[in-house]
């Protein structure tokens, strides 16, 4: 692999998966070797960074299995990414697992991922399974997470920039997670705006994953490991059901936009709510548009730091205030 991080991510995703339906279960562990030398590209070894290696071994016995690169009609090196890495495998025959509940300190009803997944049929398996083409960058690998981070936190924060379908915080390596969007645009936006963003005391390090999707944990992983995994497909908290909202993206800032506020809620009440997560420097009520049919209020809230603003957004988006669930996002406006 290109890096320890990618090797760790591949191990966490693939360990315990079946190559074929119901058989050939993978058992993956780290090797004590520091290098791997391949001299022949055939059915027993292959260097995907060097397609020019010989395809036959010296003195190979007659009738030996042919090299897939020269004889297999399913083999096509162009399916691989430019670095010669395998994309994600076929999904398992069925999905298992569900996320943990919200932290006890939260007052709001957090977003709920549906429990489990419906069965996913396997495609027909040829003599050599063809490599899956990359599907277009819907998955991000997030490093340097605080151990306080839950799946809901990443869903809400990354959901500012696109609709998130799945989140998996890797077992045994709690500072890494996968975030899967339902469209590559969301992944691109989050990669652009959240790189280095502070969340619960750590700065996020984000890279684009080589995997085309997040696959459910196996039964064995659920039984043996403390997984954090949630599915958010179809969540009512997705922000982009209406396409017109896709044009407004702002980087994390001290100024937050708060909407869907009950008309009886005062500016002081908004300030008291947000000051639980940092010092509130100022608030401003926004005037409704003249053609608006809604009586709900909107506010701008300026926190003392970007990190505290991010924390407030993560904790208060969809918070129930006076029987209305407020919506919180980053604002591009300045507030004195």
The 3-state DSSP class for residue 224 equals: helix
Cα angle for residues 72, 74, 75 (degrees, 5° grid): 70
In this structure, what are the phi and psi dihedrals at residue 66, rounded to the nearest 5 degrees? -70, 155
Burial group, residue 107, by CB count within 10 angstroms (0-12, 13-18, 19+):
exposed
Per-residue pLDDT, 225: 65
Residues 7 and 1 sit within 8 Å (Cβ to Cβ): yes
Per-residue pLDDT, 14: 77
**Helices then strands (H, E): number in the chain?**
7, 15
Q: What residues of the chain score a pLDDT lower than 50? A: 62-135, 245
Residues 213 and 9 sit within 8 Å (Cβ to Cβ): no
| Digit-coded pLDDT (tens) for 237-269 | 998 866 554 567 899 999 999 999 999 999 999
Domain boundaries, given as residue ranges, for the chain: 250-330
Per-residue pLDDT, 55: 80
Per-residue pLDDT, 206: 95
The tokens describing 114, both together, are 């549906």
CB count in 10 Å sphere of residue 310: 27
Per-residue pLDDT, 293: 65
What residue has token string 């696959």?
215
Query: What is the per-residue DSSP string for 304-331?
Result: SSHHHHHHHHHHHTT-EETTEE-EEEE-
**Rounded distance, CA 334 to CA 336, Å?**
7
Per-residue pLDDT, 64: 42
Comparing C-alpha atoms, which of 261, 282, 288, 293 is closest to residue 334? 282
Comparing C-alpha atoms, which of 170, 169, 138 is closest to residue 153? 169
Burial group, residue 200, by CB count within 10 angstroms (0-12, 13-18, 19+):
middle
**Rounded distance, CA 232 to CA 317, Å?**
16
Q: Which CATH number fits domain 250-330: 3.40.50.12780, 3.40.50.2300, 3.30.70.370, 3.30.70.330?
A: 3.30.70.330
| HSE-up of residue 330 (Cα within 13 Å, Cβ side) | 25
The 3-state DSSP class for residue 274 equals: helix
Per-residue pLDDT, 164: 95
Comparing C-alpha atoms, which of 281, 288, 287 is closest to residue 336? 281
Per-residue pLDDT, 306: 97
């Amino acid at each position: 692999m290109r890096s320890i991080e990618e090797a760790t991510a591949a191990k966490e995703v693939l360990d315990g998966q079946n190559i074929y339906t119901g058989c050939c279960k993978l058992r993956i562990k780290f090797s004590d070797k520091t290098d791997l030398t391949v001299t022949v590209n055939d059915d027993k070894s292959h260097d995907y960074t060097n397609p020019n290696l010989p395809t036959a071994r010296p003195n190979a016995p007659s009738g030996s299995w042919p090299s897939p690169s020269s004889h297999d009609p399913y083999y096509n090196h162009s399916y691989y990414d430019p670095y010669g890495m395998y994309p994600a495998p076929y999904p398992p025959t069925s999905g298992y697992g569900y996320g943990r509940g919200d932290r006890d300190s939260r007052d709001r009803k957090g977003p709920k991922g549906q429990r489990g997944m419906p069965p996913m049929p396997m495609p027909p398996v040829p003599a050599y399974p063809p490599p899956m083409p990359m599907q277009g960058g819907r998955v991000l690998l997030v490093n340097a997470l605080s151990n306080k981070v839950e799946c809901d936190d990443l869903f809400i924060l990354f959901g500012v920039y696109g609709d998130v379908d799945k989140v998996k915080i890797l077992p045994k390596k709690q500072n890494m997670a996968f975030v899967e969007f339902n469209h590559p645009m969301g992944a691109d936006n989050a990669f652009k705006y959240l790189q280095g963003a502070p969340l619960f005391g750590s700065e996020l390090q984000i890279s684009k994953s080589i995997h085309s999707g997040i696959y459910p944990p196996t039964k064995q992983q659920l039984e043996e490991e403390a997984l954090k995994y949630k599915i958010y497909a179809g969540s009512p908290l997705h922000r982009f059901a209406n396409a017109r909202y896709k044009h407004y993206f702002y980087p994390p800032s001290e100024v937050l936009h708060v909407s869907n506020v009950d008309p009886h809620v005062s500016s002081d009440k908004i300030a008291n709510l947000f000051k639980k997560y940092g010092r509130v420097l100022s608030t401003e009520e926004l005037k409704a548009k003249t053609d608006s049919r809604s009586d709900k209020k909107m506010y701008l809230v300026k926190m003392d730091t970007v990190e505290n603003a991010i924390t407030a957004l993560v904790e208060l988006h969809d918070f129930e205030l006076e029987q209305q669930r407020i919506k919180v996002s980053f604002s591009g406006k300045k507030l004195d």
